[in-house]
Structure 1
Amino acid sequence: MSEIPGGHASMRKLLMSTLDDLSNGERKVARALMAQYPTAGLTTVVDLAEVSGVSPPTVVRFVTRLGFTGFPAFQRALVHELNSELGSPLKQYPEKGGPSALGILHETHNAFAEMLMTSYSDLPESEFKKAVKLLCDPARDIRVTGGRFSRSVSDYLVAHLRLLRPGVHGVGADDEIDRRSTVADAGASTVLVIYDYRRYTDQSLVFAERMAARGAVVCLMTDNWLSPIAKVAKVVLPVRVDSASPFDSLVASMAVTESIVAGVAERLGSAGISRLELVEGAVE
């Protein structure tokens, strides 16, 4: 078994805990690794340096800063974590699809409790604060979208943000015209919040890339493996999605979304209250 420095339970947690302490170059390596996790780290020092836009010595300093004795030890830790994680519901059925020894209610309760604990423990507070600050900026227009299942969480965020501030709109996940017009209207004052969890789609990646190319700030809500959208995102908020069933869960995603709403309400203060009064008094 590969030992992860600092006693961290996962490589992901190690990366998140050290992100703010890295140099600019080392942070580029971390972002590149998380954007193509874990495959970017399973190639060579030269390849990882190339995708990160840094020099090979910077990659070596990066893995040393994490606490590894060298790149081979770093790769062994990645391989161990990769081998312990399963992807599709079909692959998870042999392990999670049978009868529950504790009963499904108790088992799901335990799984969700652990998921929330781990997600909040891994979540970089600096990234969370950046997201809240962006969403509270009255000079910015907010656009929010999600995927096949995560659209339910993105719609939830939109519904609450619209009560607290103007300029918030949801973008249809399957509405091509809506997405195209959103890209056309985007600029440096636009913030895109996009929910994208494993089983990532090229459609969401292309949309995020085009928004970023127009100058929009991309805030990514994703899982602990990180959507490829991370490579163009300015803010990344990962959560755990593993559950007691063969299907991934959005419980942690919803919880962090609730935290964002609470953070926005707190930061806006009286401005948020005034907005809410206007909305509630608009129709008698």
Structure 2
Amino acid sequence: MVSHRNVRSLVHEFMEDMSPSERKAARAVLAGYPSSALGTVAELAAVADVSPPTVIRFAARLGYSGWPELQRDVVKGLNDEGSPLSQYPHKTGAAHEDGRDVLTRSRCTFVDMIESTYESLPESEFRAMVQELCDRKKQIMLVGGRFSGFLAEYLAAHLRLLRPGISVVGHDELSRATAVADANRQTVLVVFDYRRYTVWAEHLAQTVQAQGATVCLMTDVWLSPIARTSSVVLPCPVESPSPFDSITAATAVVESLIAAVTEQLGEHGKRRVALAEGILRDA
């Protein structure tokens, strides 16, 4: 039996030790959390496409004696969390409540968030995404939402300097349709999808995955529904001193991906950067 802990944190902590089928159960829990963890064993097994005994083994992997004990911790965790709807009045009035100005609150929020991001980031998932991004035989497509699209463009700009085969999927129907038409087993789709999840991005991920593409997901700690069809999932907190979700932690992880890809591609990437720099200098 484990003491009361955040179930999501436990899942991330033990993800690397899980069997493939247990990992499917874990992602199904995270993708629909908390409701996914409050149903029956049979219901989760059906959603995750695993057997009921696998769900029981998944709970045991986290240190629980059974599914009911895990559910009790989920309920306790929910009682500890505030409703997102309460954030606007709470955060806009925070300066008056604790006497700190917005710069002080911002510094504390972002420093703590970056620290917690790297403490909880699943290293096995991070390494898996780096491997996908470094495979020069594969075509890498990136897509994001209204705000997270910035992260897709930013990562793509760096990857283009380091390797060929990089494209950004636009938000228009034609861009999405041609992305699906081009997708195959040599395609990797990197999706940035955060709270207020994008329905069309979920459909895009499902469609290209059905054609054999690998889906990698950058999302928040609640997990986009796209997690169900993703081979790699990197969650980040979105805490902010304002009522609006922040991409600060996600940007830090993107910078880490760029650093890891640069290191792994080594001289090949360096030669490509040198060639690109020469062309840009002479233009």
TM-score range, shorter chain: over 0.9
Partner of 2:224: 227
CA RMSD between the two structures: 1.6
Alpha carbons 2:4, 2:73 under 8 Å: kept: no
Partner of 1:148: 146
**Distance of 1:30 and 1:221 partners within structure 2:** 17
Kindly tell me the number of residue pairs found equivalent between the two proteins.
278
Scaled by the length of structure 1, the TM-score of the pair is 0.93
1:127-276 pair list within 5 angstroms: 127-172=125-170, 174-276=171-273
The structural deviation recorded for 1:80 is: 2.6
**Distance of 1:21 and 1:138 partners within structure 2:** 29
Can you list the C-alpha shifts for 1:2-51, whole angstroms capped at 9, x where unaligned?
Answer: xx93775x222110111111223222211211122221111111111111
Q: Give the direction of change, closer, same or farther, for the CA distance of 1:142–1:6 in structure 2 (3 Å limit).
A: farther
Can you list the C-alpha shifts for 1:217-236, whole angstroms capped at 9, x where unaligned?
Answer: 11100011110000110110
Sequence identity, in percent? 49
Q: Give the direction of change, closer, same or farther, for the CA distance of 1:6–1:264 in structure 2 (3 Å limit).
A: farther
Can you list the C-alpha shifts for 1:139-182, whole angstroms capped at 9, x where unaligned?
Answer: 0111111001101111110111111111111111x211011101
**Distance of 2:113 and 2:12 partners within structure 1:** 16
1:28 aligned to 2:24?
yes
Q: Give the direction of change, closer, same or farther, for the CA distance of 1:54–1:70 in structure 2 (3 Å limit).
A: same
Partner of 2:13: 17
**Distance of 2:149 and 2:51 partners within structure 1:** 39
Question: Which of 41, 44, 53 does residue 45 from structure 1 map onto?
Answer: 41
Partner of 2:69: 73
The structural deviation recorded for 1:272 is: 0.6
Structure 2: where are the runs of 5+ without partners? none
1:82-121 pair list within 5 angstroms: 82-86=78-82, 88=84, 90-100=85-95, 101-121=99-119
**Distance of 1:176 and 1:119 partners within structure 2:** 34
Q: Give the direction of change, closer, same or farther, for the CA distance of 1:73–1:206 in structure 2 (3 Å limit).
A: same
Q: Give the direction of change, closer, same or farther, for the CA distance of 1:83–1:177 in structure 2 (3 Å limit).
A: farther
Q: Give the direction of change, closer, same or farther, for the CA distance of 1:87–1:139 in structure 2 (3 Å limit).
A: farther
**Distance of 1:95 and 1:232 partners within structure 2:** 35
| SS of equivalent residue, structure 2 residue 112 | helix
**Distance of 2:210 and 2:146 partners within structure 1:** 24
Question: Which of 53, 60, 63 does residue 64 from structure 1 map onto?
Answer: 60
| SS of equivalent residue, structure 2 residue 64 | coil
| SS of equivalent residue, structure 1 residue 5 | coil
**Distance of 1:151 and 1:250 partners within structure 2:** 11
Can you list the C-alpha shifts for 1:183-241, whole angstroms capped at 9, x where unaligned?
Answer: 10111111111100011121110011111111111110001111000011011000100
**Distance of 2:80 and 2:89 partners within structure 1:** 14
**Distance of 1:24 and 1:197 partners within structure 2:** 25
